[in-house]
Amino acid sequence: MNGSLRKRHQRPHVVRNEPVSRRCSPPESRCSQPAPRSTLVFLLGAAALGFGLAPTTASATEASDTDASDTKLPPERTVASQKTTKTNHALPQPSVTEPVRPLTGYRFSDESACPACSSHPRIGLHWHDHWTRVGSREAIVTGVAATSYIGMRLFADSPSAANWAKPILFDQLARDHLALDSRDGRGRASTISDVLYFGAIAQTLVIDTAFVAWWGHDNPDVAWQMSVINAQAYALSLSLTRATKHLVARERPYAGPCTSDSSYDKNCNQGPQNMSFFSGHAATTATSAGLSCAHHTHLQLYGEPLLDAAACLFAVGVTTTTGVLRVASDNHHASDVLTGQIVGYLVGYLYPTLLYYQDFRTTPENNNAHSSRAAVVPVATPSSLSIDLIGLF
């Protein structure tokens, strides 16, 4: 009786710490054994490293250290994990939302990825992530400025009386040394200045944009950004120049000699004699020079520092030559030319540099769809001329 009870309550004998081959019966049968904890930890660690999930905050680091202390890893694997953690902290990955500015001396290359475009690594010529892209706001500003300029050209009559006739500062000295004596000579100087005027516009709108950026670099996106920026700068420069001419109504240099000799200039009896300040040719060519310098400085269109610098200097030379020819043709005073060049270069260089390339910021900022944008635009009506501040805030 006692023997049968002991048999009934006797627990089955469990074999521990024996090889698998001895616990599996028969030997040819397949036995599934749970994976050791160290193997699971190794697999999880490898997966974490493969997906780049290394901890980046203090709390995550502490949690990782706690797990490592609880789990008994082999010594060599613990050392490897520590080395990996130190490496990740020593070389932090760039943030997607806050891209890094281009490194000093970085130039667009087809062989190396851009260090400033971490969200979308790119090679070759491209538009950086932290640069402002053109959109509907640019179309509105450009359309308003262009409409104002066209309206003033078509509907605003030239001032019939001059509000300002006398030269100032170095005007008379420059006219005495630069103005040509013959009518034919002044006519040729005026014609050459017209050629330089349209050539400067073609340089930025056609050559740099269509041929170099689009066709040469095969990047229509950069060409589109440049085209809209160029159109906006030219529209602002032209409309501001035209409005100032109407408001100031300065007499041109040839108007005085025309009173005693009607054959002195072809525009003696016609043309805008009271629209000298400031020079439209000087302002437009200076706008072209500013755009050329801004694009070649930031986009490095020609791929060589000397060539890009030469393109900027060439554009500056064109606007300088145009200004001299406007004085030589007796169409403008030197102060008209100098003022036009200053205004044009500010619009052509500072406007895209500050608003789009953002070169004067200490750190790049994310493009915000609700960021403010403003511009000064001349507005013409049948009865008045004004300068308005328009923008989106």
User: What percentage of the chain reaches a pLDDT higher than 90?
Assistant: 47
Contact (Cβ atoms closer than 8 angstroms) between residue 232 and residue 144: no
Contact (Cβ atoms closer than 8 angstroms) between residue 266 and residue 275: no
- Whether 120 shows a pLDDT value over 60: the answer reads yes
**What confidence tens digit (pLDDT) does each residue in 194-222 have?**
999 999 999 999 999 999 999 998 899 99
Number of domains in the chain: 1
Helix (H, G, I), strand (E, B) or coil at 127: coil
Greater pLDDT, 379 or 80: 379
Quote the DSSP letter at residue 18.
-
Helix (H, G, I), strand (E, B) or coil at 381: strand
- Whether 352 shows a pLDDT value over 70: the answer reads yes
- Whether 144 shows a pLDDT value over 80: the answer reads yes
Tokens 């100031």 belong to residue: 248
Which pLDDT value is given to residue 125?
Answer: 83
Position 109 in a domain: no
C-alpha span between 242 and 279 (Å, rounded): 9
Can you give the residue range of the structural domain that contains 213?
136-257+272-392
Position 124 in a domain: no
Which pLDDT value is given to residue 115?
Answer: 65
Position 39 in a domain: no
Phi, psi of 66, deg, nearest 5: -65, -45
Phi, psi of 381, deg, nearest 5: -125, 165
Which pLDDT value is given to residue 378?
Answer: 52
Average pLDDT value for the chain: 74
Q: Taking residues 107-133, report their average pLDDT.
A: 72
Which pLDDT value is given to residue 126?
Answer: 83
CB count within 10 Å of CB 377 equals 24
Position 186 in a domain: yes
Provide the token pair at 195: 């050629």
Least confident of 23-37, 203-217, 302-316: 23-37
**What confidence tens digit (pLDDT) does each residue in 65-80 have?**
444 444 444 444 444 4
Position 84 in a domain: no
Q: For residue 322, give the CATH number of its domain.
A: 1.20.144
Which pLDDT value is given to residue 180?
Answer: 94
- CA-based nearest residue to 178, from 196, 193, 164: 193
Question: Would you call 373 exposed, middle or buried from its count of C-beta atoms within 10 A (0-12, 13-18, 19+)?
Answer: middle
Least confident of 86-100, 246-260, 344-358: 86-100
Q: Which amino acid is at 286?
A: A
Helix 136-155 vs helix 220-248: angle between axes, to the nearest 10 degrees?
Answer: 40
Question: Would you call 100 exposed, middle or buried from its count of C-beta atoms within 10 A (0-12, 13-18, 19+)?
Answer: middle
Least confident of 86-100, 143-157, 174-188, 327-341: 86-100
Which pLDDT value is given to residue 23?
Answer: 43
Position 178 in a domain: yes
- CA-based nearest residue to 152, from 384, 390, 393: 384
**What confidence tens digit (pLDDT) does each residue in 32-68 have?**
444 444 444 344 444 433 333 333 333 344 444 444 4
From residue 161, how far is each of 157, 261, 271, 274, 385 by CA, in Å? 11, 19, 13, 7, 16
The pTM is what?
0.66
Position 36 in a domain: no
Quote the DSSP letter at residue 182.
S
Which pLDDT value is given to residue 381?
Answer: 52
C-alpha span between 285 and 292 (Å, rounded): 10
Position 4 in a domain: no
Which pLDDT value is given to residue 247?
Answer: 94
Which pLDDT value is given to residue 130?
Answer: 79
